[in-house]
Amino acid sequence: MDTLLLVDDDVSLLESLTLHFEDAERDGQPRFQVVTATTAAAGLQKARESPPSLVVLDMMLPDRSGLDLIEEMKSVCGDAPIVLVTAYHDMESTIRAMKLGAFDYIHKPFSDPAALDLVINRALSVRQLSRRAATAELDTTAPARLGDLVGQTPVMQKLVKEIGKVAAAPRATVLITGESGTGKELVARVIHNYSFDDPRPFVGINCSAIVETLLESELFGHERGAFTGAATSKPGKFEVADDGTVFLDEIGDLSPQLQGKLLRVLQEREFERVGGTKRVTLQARVIAATHRDLTEEVKTGRFREDLYQRLQVIALHVPPLRERREDIPLLVKSLLERINGRVHKRVTRVPPEVMEALVRLPWRGNVRELENVLTRAIVLSPGEVLLAESLPRAEVPAPGEQSDALSWLAPADGPLPTLEEAERQLIERALVLTRGHKGRACQMLGISRPTLERKLAKYGAARSVKPPLKTVS
């Protein structure tokens, strides 16, 4: 039975709400125990005596404002949601209430009790979900982490090892490739941080974000009077980086003219400011990154082959998120900590079904998209639990269409299998196609490794595969 604490100075309203909630039943049993108070002080005292499951708090009380009471009530009631009610339509108070942690903000009089019931039921459901999430064990081991680089899958472990080797050669040029949003700049910063024992400058520039006429000046600097508007001399990124690192993001978007100048800088380790004659020595390491296929760009003549060869002294590839879905729970945990601090929230609990939904999403935008989705979900979540309703929906085939991956399950001359049988057959088929490799089977099925292990235990799918296969990690 849930305990509701109603705090309002309107005695008649308290009486009607008490009757309304005490009449509610679940499975033939009373659903609510109702406790009432007419002042803030009495409400706090009742909360200490009988910790409520939910608090309905009036905005205007005789001794204190409901807004002023929210934080103290939360400290007494723990995870009990607080629903603030008021007779005034005040936008500023609504914003303040939600910012202080109220679950919802509704107006009275309650012309439709069903609307209040909807809010109460949703608040209690979120509380229950939050508690379930708090007790769920995260079936993962400690991540292989360098700074904020998170991952324990084989492809990430390989990348981490390569970063360690690169860090041991702090002057070697590095080319980082990977789709947009995979974290190429993060990899560059990790390389930089582990290359030097003492702090050195890390200077980044996005080659696609600056117009070509200004990019040369940004890279190499300029002298006073070099062009219209150059009122003073200015050092460029290569100079500012000193003996640290210059990170050239989206190097594939560099114009042919600047490609030639960059090639000379990398070959000679010297450059001149725009409008200058003095030679400046390049002391910094150059790390470049691109989401483009530079091999294809070279074939089509859009990128210089000699510059490509000069850049890829050491080449690193950052895998897309869909190729390392087993890392998503670790990434979620890491990103939650960062995002909560940034948006001043405390969303720390992720129910298992929500985590599984996150693992299944296509993530075309990779880790950047995951961070954006989590940020939105955290901002919209009223309590400490991440809600599934705040997540984007996974794409499904249009009505009447059948996925090619599932068409073999529905032969024209036979009935459809049951859901469990279809799931078992899918797992068997994935293991056959991957020759028993569990990691690739997870990627193919769009599920996490713990989920696959649970399904294998449930169906004994690995044992029923013919011919017998030895599953590998």
- Distances from the Cα of 148 to the Cα of 46, 144, 160, 271, angstroms: 45, 10, 12, 34
Q: From 108, 135, 162, give the residue that closes a domain.
A: 135
CATH number at residue 186: 3.40.50.300
Most confident of 76-90, 145-159, 455-469: 76-90
Question: Does 141 map to a domain?
Answer: no
- Kindly state whether residues 174 and 243 are assigned to the same domain: yes
Do both 78 and 195 map to the same domain? no
395 assigned to some structural domain: no
Number of independent structural domains in the chain: 4
Structural domain boundaries enclosing 231? 154-317
Residue 411: is its pLDDT beyond 60? no
Q: Are residues 241 and 364 in the same domain?
A: no
Same domain, 123 and 263: no
Give the mean pLDDT of 462-472.
43
Comparison of pLDDT for 83 and 229, the residue scoring more:
83
Query: Percent of the chain, pLDDT > 90?
Result: 34
Residue 139 has pLDDT above 60, yes or no: no
Residue 414 has pLDDT above 60, yes or no: no
Residues 282 and 335 placed together within one structural domain of the fold: no
- The stretch 219-245 carries a mean pLDDT of 86
Q: Which stretches of 348-445 are DSSP H helices?
A: 352-360, 366-380, 419-433, 438-445
Last residue of a domain, one of 317, 352, 369: 317
Helix (H, G, I), strand (E, B) or coil at 26: strand
If asked whether residues 171 and 233 sit together in one domain, one would say: yes
pLDDT score of 132: 63
Assigned domain for 471 exists: no
Rounded average pLDDT over 66-92: 86
Question: Above 70 in pLDDT, residue 65?
Answer: yes
Query: Model's pTM, two decimal places?
Result: 0.66
**Which residues does 85 contact at the CB level (< 8 Å), separation at least 6?**
8, 56, 57, 58, 59, 105, 106, 107, 108
- The rounded percent of the chain whose pLDDT value lies above 70 is 87
Rg of the chain, C-alpha, whole Å:
30
185 in a structural domain: yes
Alpha-helix runs per DSSP H in 78-183: 91-100, 113-135, 154-167
**Confidence category of residue 199, pLDDT binned at 50, 70, 90:** confident
Q: Residues 6 or more apart from 173 whose CB is under 8 A from it?
A: 266, 285, 286, 287, 288, 310, 311, 313, 314
Q: For residue 430, tell me if it sits in a domain.
A: yes
pLDDT tens-digit series, residues 237-288: 999 988 899 999 999 999 999 999 999 999 999 999 988 888 989 999 999 9
The amino acid sitting at 467 is: P
> Do residues 347 and 340 touch, judged by C-beta distance below 8 A?
yes
pLDDT score of 202? 92
Lowest mean pLDDT among 42-51, 142-151, 303-312: 142-151
Q: Residue 429: is its pLDDT beyond 80?
A: no
Question: Are residues 279 and 161 located together in one domain of the fold?
Answer: yes
* Mean pLDDT taken over the chain: 83
DSSP assignments along 183-222, one per residue:
-HHHHHHHHHHHH-SS---EEEEETTTS-HHHHHHHHHEE
Which CATH number characterizes residue 26's domain?
Answer: 3.40.50.2300
Averaged pLDDT, 433-438: 75
Q: How confident is the model at residue 289 (pLDDT cuts 50, 70, 90)?
A: very high
Question: What pLDDT, in 10s, does the model give residues 30-44?
Answer: 888 899 999 999 999
The C-alpha atoms of residue 109 and residue 115 are separated, in whole angstroms, by 11
Please indicate, yes or no, if residue 473 is contained in any of the structural domains: no
The answer to the question of residue 343 being in a domain is yes
| Residue finishing a domain among 339, 357, 390 | 390
Confidence of residue 46 (pLDDT cuts 50, 70, 90): very high
The burial of 102, by beta-carbon neighbours within 10 Å (0-12 exposed, 13-18 middle, 19 or more buried), is given as: buried
Task: Summarize the confidence of residues 84-98 as an average pLDDT.
Answer: 80
* pLDDT at 62 > cutoff 80: yes
pLDDT of residue 467: 39
Give the pLDDT confidence score for residue 76 in this predicted structure: 87
Checking if the pLDDT of 213 tops 80, the result is no
Mean pLDDT of 85-112: 80
Same domain, 336 and 204: no
State the Cα–Cα distance between residues 111 and 457, nearest whole angstrom: 53
With bands split at pLDDT 50, 70 and 90, how would you rate the model's confidence at 29? confident
Judged against a pLDDT cut of 90, whether residue 178 lies above it is answered with yes
Residues 366 and 424 in one domain: no
Q: What is the CATH number of the domain that holds 438?
A: 1.10.10.60
The CATH number covering residue 372 comes to: 1.10.8.60
Are 162 and 49 found together in one domain?
no
Give per-residue pLDDT as tens, 326-341.
999 999 998 998 899 8
Please report whether residue 208 resides in a domain.
yes
What is the structure's pLDDT at 417? 65
Task: Check pLDDT > 50 for residue 466.
Answer: no
**Are residues 420 and 368 located together in one domain of the fold?**
no
Q: Residues 123, 182: one domain?
A: no
Of the two residues 408 and 302, the one the predictor is more confident about is: 302
Confidence check: pLDDT of 211 > 70: yes
| pLDDT above 70 for 183 | yes
For residue 468, pLDDT beyond 50 = no
